[in-house]
């Protein structure tokens, strides 16, 4: 039975998929499927920013005012010695 056709619009992506398929002794479809599955699993482990900040706030117990920290660390430049 013939393998289903799969269109890869980018020439660069197509070349890469073909090289990987030859190297791994797989079909291009299998290479693309594995890549998409890996991408999906990586995206599932991504923590949203709001959850990250909430977790950090709970762990550290204090809320820092970053603007105040930056302002405290600022000092005017002494200028060029002439």
Q: Where are the domains of the chain?
A: 11-73
**Which pLDDT tens digit goes with each residue over 9-27?**
788 888 988 999 999 999 9
Average pLDDT over residues 30-38: 89
Q: Are 6 and 27 in contact (CB under 8 A)?
A: no
What predicted TM-score, i.e. pTM, was given to this entire model? 0.46
Residue 69: its pLDDT value, please? 76
Q: Confidence class of residue 6 from pLDDT cuts 50, 70 and 90?
A: low
Q: Confidence class of residue 34 from pLDDT cuts 50, 70 and 90?
A: very high
- Report the C-alpha gap between 44 and 63 in whole angstroms: 28
Q: Are 64 and 57 in contact (CB under 8 A)?
A: no
Task: Evaluate if residue 63 carries a pLDDT over 80.
Answer: no
């Amino acid at each position: 039975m013939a393998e289903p056709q799969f269109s890869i619009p980018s020439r660069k992506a197509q070349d890469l998929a073909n090289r990987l398929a030859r190297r791994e002794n797989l079909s291009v479809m299998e290479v693309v499927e594995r890549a998409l599955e890996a991408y999906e699993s990586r995206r599932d482990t991504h923590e949203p920013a709001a959850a990250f900040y909430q977790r950090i706030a709970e762990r550290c117990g204090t809320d820092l005012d970053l603007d105040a920290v930056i302002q405290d660390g600022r000092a005017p430049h002494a200028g060029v010695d002439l």
